Every structure is written in structure tokens, then in C-alpha cells.
Structure 1
Amino acid sequence: MKNLLSALVLIALAVSQGASNASGVSNVTAAAGASKDSSAPDVSKYAAQQGWTLVKSNTPKLPVSDITPVLYTAKGDAAPSCGLLAHTAAGTEFFELMSPEKGAGFPQCLLINDAAAFEVRSRQYLVVEYIARDTVEDFYRQYFYLYRDPAGRYIPDSELNDAVVWTEPVLASRDGIDVPRAQEGVRRARGTLLSKTVPGMRFLGREFMAGKNSSFAVFQDRANSKCVFLVDVGAKPATYGHELFAKGDKCESVLASGKMERAGTTYYLALFKGVVRNHLGIVSVGPNNVVAAETGLAIAVGKKSKLADLKSAKEALKLSL
């Protein structure tokens, strides 16, 4: 809460002093200022060219060196804006995250809170989390996504930024408004991008799981009693039909899914109902992101458990490893 109050005070000071600032540009923190890395953009120079007043803020260190978060007040505005300044081989580009309506005090960008890099379907992404203030009492946590194209330029992902918009209400009076949550943005992005991976089958959102380096999704074709289990580790997703784990039986419904970590390997589990009995699908992600369908392990677990629920299946899996 102290961080939020400090940010609000600094923003207010910057806005009120903007007109009297002779240079029109204030100092910025190390994260947004000059860098020893030659690829870092010159924020002060760019802001001066635009006539902006930079606002001091504890901006996060991004996982890439050629983008810098910027919190600023544009000339004539009564509230702060924010964006990302990129400097690549293609030149300098600015991506606006949020700015107020002309002549209005809202919406405001309070702070750029966190960022994370991730890979989905062989595409490199960057997600930036920021806190927006929509009214005097309404605060929201939002995410902005970019990806790097083959030429090295950053491209805003319209599917994630426009078609799928997440805004999480937060309370200014609640401790933890500035707790980093970029990994939640990664999880939601993975789910959105992978949900259309298996044509003709329904993505079961409630079964979706995403870790730092891998994701697990379940798809169902109820009409034909079929299911597909998908694991994504950044490259082309690996898919496995339910028949691998239930020879001669169907997948009438998915009962539960979960995961278990053991000795550097992640085991994704899907408990599903067949005509004959319940079955367990197991797909592992080992060291170096090696993905494998654990058919033998699934059979061994089935012999140790009636697979009545996921808890008993996990206990049987522990005994089989």
C-alpha cells in the first residue's frame, strides 16, 4: 500500500509541476533511463521530442533489453499515461498502454507493475501488467501482449489485446495492489492461444493448466465420445488421443485433471470416464522439455487404483514412480 501511495503522490507532483518544468522532462528511474546496454531505447530523448513530462515510478526490469516501460504526462493532459518504448533493428517504436481522454482526469495509468516473456506455438511473447484507474474508486489490473516477428520487430497481438480482454478489479485500500501478477497474464494467454489448436473439438477451459514452461489442455468431441490431451512447451504442441490410455473404450466425459512434480519431471493427469470403466491419461514433461505419453505408467496406476477420483489416482501414481 505504501508503494501505491508513493506512486500517487509522485504522479500528482509531476502533473502539477509539469507546466513549470523548464525542460519539460523530469528524471526517470534506472529502469526507464539510460542503460549500459546499447539496445536500450533513449527514453529521455524520445520524451523530449514528444513534449512529455516523465513521471518517476518503480517500473519493473523487463526480461528483454530493447523495450523500456514509460510512465509520463503528455502536454495538456491532467492525468498520467503509460506505454512501452522499443528500440530494435527496425528503429524506435512506441506502444501506448493507456492514456486519459483529452481534457479529462481519467482513465489514468498508475504504474507498470510486472512483465514476463514466454513462448507459445514457436512465437516469442512479452506480457506487461499495469494498474489502471478508471474512476476515483475503480482500479483495474490489465495485461498487454506483444510478440517478436522474424525481422525482430515487436507486434501487438490483436487476438489477445482486442478479442480477449481481461480486467481484474483491484481495491486501492487492499494491500498487494502492486504484487507482480504477470504470470497470471501468461496463463491466460496460453489458454486463449491453445484453445483453437484442435479443430472440431471443444476446449475444456476448466481443465486447462499452465506452468512457467509448459501447458496442458483437454479437448472433447462429445458426439463421438473422443478426447484429446495437449501439452505445449513453446514449440508445436503435442497431442494425444484418449485411445492411447483406453484401448477399445471411449471418452464419454472428463472427470478431473491435475499435475504432479517428481524429480524434475511434470506429470499431467486427466481422469476420464469410459463405457467400461474410468481411465487415466498421463503425459509427462521431463528435463529439456521432452514430452511423452506415459501409457505404461497409466496402465500401472490403473492396476493400483479403481480411479474413482483424482486424489486416489495421484496416490497410485506416487507408488508407481
Structure 2
Amino acid sequence: MAPITTGLLFHGDDLGCKAFLAGQPAHYVYILRRPDGRPFYVGKGYGPRVFQHENEARHPNNRLSNAYKLNVIRSIWKAGLKPLYEIDLVTASADEAYAREAALIGLIKRLHEGGPLTNLAAGGGSTAGPAPASVERHSATLGGIPDDNPERATLNGFVLSIAHMNSVVIKPIGQFIARPTIPFPNKSRQLSLRQAVAVIASAAANGINMDGDCQIPRRVIVDGVAGLIENGVSCDLLTSKAVTVTAAPSPADEHFVMNAQQSASIVGQLGRQKCFDLGVLSGR
């Protein structure tokens, strides 16, 4: 990614940022960066807002916060390092700050746009939209963002923020009959991007690291919507031998179990850089 020119009023650690912002009762635009300088979140703040992201990451995922962002912060901590803080703009005008936030997000780009930002919204004061897959919006419920099914829209948007899928891999729990994960008889499967995205989406939503052996729940919760990796892709994963499955009385309580080699194969379908940016890997 080509360097993006920023205001760079401040760049450093959290303590230095607190000192810089002290006594400035103004709106500001900030960039959270990895220790190597790569940006992962852009926001508009007032008061202590810029520091609340690390505070959120200190607690278990409440499934109401941006899981990608929190995963990245935790992966930085796991490496024994800390995020870097940049203040791009300080202004008395909230409108100016919102406009600059949106402009920076558009320049640096979000994950589904080929950039490194974990922002789910496009900025400018929006909290949910346009959805990460708004460019793919259409009336078909399976692959797009349906206007008449908010639960499916939430889950589809979450998945499509990782990679484009022609059909959904995670469905709202109450909108289909979940079946136990069993291999398809007399069939063979190869690990596919669709299978990999289902697993990686669950890892991201559940805050699970995929650097080695791991267990990924079939159940996900995104913005308060309970979802489940759908029957077909679950059985595909087992048939392709990409995972083993821990059986449970309810399919919603199944887990996909992977050794380090299986985890690496799934990560390889999407690419280590993308998984690093999603926060499900702590090293590239």
C-alpha cells in the first residue's frame, strides 16, 4: 500500500497521546497503528475516545464491539508490544472531523476493499453503514445484504467484509434447521475459500488465534445476532478433512478442531496478510 499523507500532529504511545490531547477541548481524528506503522483503525474522537479501544480489548468480546479491531489489539499485546497512536486533525468543528475521518478511511481502505483497516463503517458519523459489502448489495438474500432480513444482513455483512461469497456461509440460528456435522458419504472435497472464510469468520467473531492448534466454535454472535456456520459448508469442511468436529447434543455447540497444519491450510486459502489484518494471526 502506498503511503498516505496524514496530518501527523502527534505520533507515539498512549501516554504521549494523552499528554498531547490534555487541555484540548476539541474534536479530533485519530489513527491506530501497529508497531510497524501499518494502520488498522481510523476514528473521530472527543475527550478520551481514542483510548477506549484498548480498554474494550482488555475484556472478553461482548459481541457488540468490532471483533476485528479488538483481535488486532490483542495480537499486538500477545507479541509483547503496544499499538501506536496518531492524531491527524484537531478541530472545533465536529462536521470537519467527521469529514476527515471518512476521507482517511476512503484513502487507506477497509479490509474488504483491499486495505488494512478494520473499520466496519465508512466513517463520517455512520456507525453501521454503508455496510462492508454495500457495493455487493442486491435483493438476493443468499449472497448480498437483504433489506428485509436485518439478522441475515448483519451476518452476511460480517462475512462479506472478509471476502466476497456468492452464497452465505453463516445463517441466523432461528432461520434454519441446524443439522449435525457429518461427512458427505461417497464424496470427496477439496478445501475451498468458502470453507476457509466460514472458519476464519468464526475465529474473528470469537476472538480466537489461529497460529497453531485451535478449536473454532460453529456458533458466532455478531452485533447481538446469533448465527451458525450453515450445514453444507460444515459438512464440506469435514469431508475435505480440513477439520475434525467435536460432537455435541446440539449442532450449535459443535466445535471445529484443527491441528497446526490444518490451521495453516485454512489461513493459506485467504492469505496470511489478510488473516494478520483480521487479527486471527499474531505474526505474518
Same fold (TM over 0.5): no
Higher relative contact order (CA 8 A, sep 6+): 2
Which structure: greater strand fraction? 1
